[in-house]
A and B are shown apart, each in its own frame.
Chain A
Amino acid sequence: MAQPATDKAADIDGVKGTATIPLLRTENLVLHYRTERGAVRAVDGIDLTLAAGEAMVILGESGCGKSSLTKALLRMLPRNVAAFSGSVWFEGRDIMTLDEETFRREVRWVGISMVMQAAMNALNPVVRVGDQVAEPLRVHRGWSRARALEKAAETFALVGLPADFLTRYPFEMSGGMRQRAVLAMALVTDPRLVILDEPTSALDVLTQANIMNVLKRIKAELGTSFILITHDVATSSELANRVALMYGGQLVEVADAAHFFRTPSHPYSELLMASVPRLRDTHEPVHIPGQPPNLLDLPAGCRFADRCPKRFARCAEPPPQTFDAAGNMSRCWLADPAHGSGAR
């Protein structure tokens, strides 16, 4: 197994290495949208494995399909779906085959919950925050209002909100407090997995750091697993055990956090890491030339090839996913064993 950088990571990798069933596994997950100009291949064959207690970061630039991936996982689909296929196993159960009612009752918000992008601005302005946080329990579990509010109060304490905030309205709270409230709404049903879509990107740095502390504590104390969707590489390192980098609807690298942040494998990962401005380093960030590919018209070969400084003839064909001995994946011809001496 991987050489983990921390004891914590060691535990988690230990879990993954045994025969234990992963918490979440997807195989060839596809979600395409139908538009006037053709199919948008937002999620185009995603294989992911998440162990219990693990936090996986899904990194990517805007338009790479990372938010669509969460929609596919929670089956929150828009009307213009052109294709939705593949397999998703949650706790060993194939949830793609469940009917909508079973999925709603047993998976969505009960097993897997979510903090949507900018959710803190989507709270109902005329309902007290406590009632909004308690709502998932009433809808998905059928609890009484009193019982649900009691649980909501417990969850408030967990995310660092004072109990008297239960009776407040969203406009009486700051952005950081509202973000804690939507986090409470995701945690109130004790889900095993919480998907966070850009949970801190609209917040100030101190608030952001405080929210990341809350997430770390929940992960350590409750063992909740997280999928964190973000474009913010530096902040993502606050929570990540593993990192999956998405590009043009596909994953191009999936690796242990220490491997990804220190010695990334894929040329896109290398450039992305070099493009991050660092406070404690005087090395000027690099700029990645070119544009991400259009999901309407994806190249036939490697989707990063036209921006890649290391491209060669082979890149005209689509590269397979190549795994190293530690289980890290790179979708690049340079990592392919057949590449011979150039293998990295």
Chain B
Amino acid sequence: MNVQASVTQAGAREVVLSAEDLHTWFELKRWGMLRIGHVRAVDGVDFALERGETVAFVGESGCGKSSLARTLLGLHKPTRGRVIFEGQDLGALDAAGWRAHRARVGYVQQDPYGALAPFMDVRRILAEPLIVNGVNDAAERDRRIRAALEEVRLLPVEEFLGKFPHMLSGGQQQRVVIARALILAPTLVIADEPVSMLDASVRVEILRLLRDLQRARNLTLAFITHDLSTVRYFAERIFVMYAGRIIEQASVDALLDTPLHPYTRALLAAIPDPDPDNATHYKEIPGGEPPSLLSPPPGCRFHPRCPVAIAGRCEREDPPETTLADGHRVACWLHVGGEGA
């Protein structure tokens, strides 16, 4: 499942999506007019995703991962920096360009019930993107809708076409959302916490469906998630985000087996496996909370909580990103000057 090659040999696969120095800030106003600053939701992010790759952006709430997803989808305009999708700078798109872009990028939302219009049946929900994108032949639409339902295994198709979202279980609703995301045959799918609203027993099923679809269509699939325990099975590469930045990126195995950033280590230590021994000892977890994105701390953003911060350095200077030999990248002063620097 782990595809090392995709990580180590950049250029071996075609880059589908890249972000360069990406910033998404939101202006904060009081009483609708007084500017009191910016929420720096995405604050200097660089990465490149290759065709057919499955990656996970992992972080806690408020780390900017959903804002990043929405910026990649074109729902937020970057404050600074660029998003390049299949060679096209998204900042240069006109209205028609945006419509074409949205047909090539699928979006799977977190809350399937909220993502589906309650007054539309499944047939209508799936017809909508086709109509918007000029598939005017009703027979053609019907064929594609049926094919999409078969692909997400809502069978028999006939039974589901006329159903409304409230008549479906959470897992079935999420399948409809996935069918809608895929019906225009996108090359990139962004899934924002696709299973966090679902029951545990259904989660694996939906993740497996996404993985099967990714393989069958050679999709580039980006998961946004806070759940590190499932990424080993469903992603090849992980980006760990903290306070608007990517602080570590590596192949799944490298990240889970040899995490380098103290924040990544804390995150992994915090996640339990079901083991009765857990109840017999306390966990060593840094206290505190992620910083305000309105005024992030100077230097490394994790330094106020970091158990191994270097006094005189970490609170003053932003750590540069260090790339190690196997494509493992980390932004931490402890690893500057290490191998590959």
Contacts and interface: CB of A to CB of B under 8 A. Distances in A.
Interface stretch (A133-141, A277-285, A334-342): A277-285
Contacts of B201: 61, 272, 275, 287-288
A324 interface: no
A208 interface: yes
Contacts of A209: 269-272, 283, 285
Contact of B279 (A176, A233, A240): A240
Contact of B268 (A204, A212, A279): A279
Contact of B285 (A61, A213, A235, A272): A213
For chain B, the bracket of interface size reads 35 or more
A204 B272 contact: no
A273 B200 contact: no
B47 interface: no
B286 interface: yes
Contact of B61 (A204, A232, A288): A204
Interface in A191-238: 204-210, 212-213, 216-217, 231-238
A209 B229 CA distance: 15
Interface stretch (A91-99, A150-158, A254-262): A254-262
Interface string B84-124: 00000000000000000000000000000000000000000
B118 to A, nearest CB: 20
Given A276-B200, A282-B232, A217 B282 contact: yes
Nearest to A202: B61
A286 B202 CA distance: 10
A204 B269 CA distance: 13
B11 interface: no
B199 interface: yes
A234 B270 contact: no
A62 B199 contact: yes
B152 to A, nearest CB: 15
B228 interface: yes
Contact of A210 (B199, B208, B285): B285
B273 interface: yes
A321 B296 CA distance: 57
Contacts of A5: 276-277
Contact of A213 (B199, B233, B275, B283): B283
B185 interface: no
Interface residues of A, number: 54
B279 to A, nearest CB: 6
Contacts of A291: 169
A237 B267 contact: no
Contacts of B279: 6, 8, 55, 216, 237-241, 257
Contacts of A239: 279
Interface string A167-207: 00000001111000000000000000000000000001111
B270 A279 contact: no
Contacts of B278: 237-238
Contacts of A272: 201
Interface string B263-300: 00011111111111111101101110100000000000
B232 A279 contact: yes
Contacts of B233: 277, 284-285
B226 interface: yes
Contacts of A213: 282-283, 285
A272 B199 CA distance: 12
Given A204-B226, A235-B272, A281-B273, A212 B60 contact: no
A234 B204 contact: no
B173 to A, nearest CB: 14
B142 to A, nearest CB: 29
B225 to A, nearest CB: 11
A260 B275 CA distance: 9
B337 to A, nearest CB: 28
Contacts of B283: 209, 212-213
B27 interface: no
A287 B282 contact: no
Contacts of A287: 201-202, 204-205, 208
Interface in A2-58: 5-6, 8, 55
A61 B199 CA distance: 7
B273 A234 contact: yes
* Residue from A206, A208, A276, A281 with most neighbouring chain B CB atoms (10 Å): A206
Given A204-B226, A288-B201, A6 B273 contact: no
Given A236-B274, A281-B273, 12 more contacts: A6-B276, A206-B60, A213-B283, A213-B285, A216-B282, A233-B200, A233-B274, A237-B278, A261-B276, A277-B230, A278-B273, A279-B268
Instruction: Please provide the 7 A-B residue pairs with the shortest distance between their CB atoms, ordered closest to farther.
Output: A209-B270, A204-B60, A258-B276, A257-B276, A277-B229, A288-B201, A205-B270
20 contacts: A61-B199, A177-B289, A205-B60, A206-B267, A206-B285, A208-B270, A231-B200, A232-B200, A234-B272, A234-B273, A235-B272, A237-B275, A238-B279, A239-B279, A257-B276, A277-B204, A279-B268, A280-B273, A287-B204, A288-B201
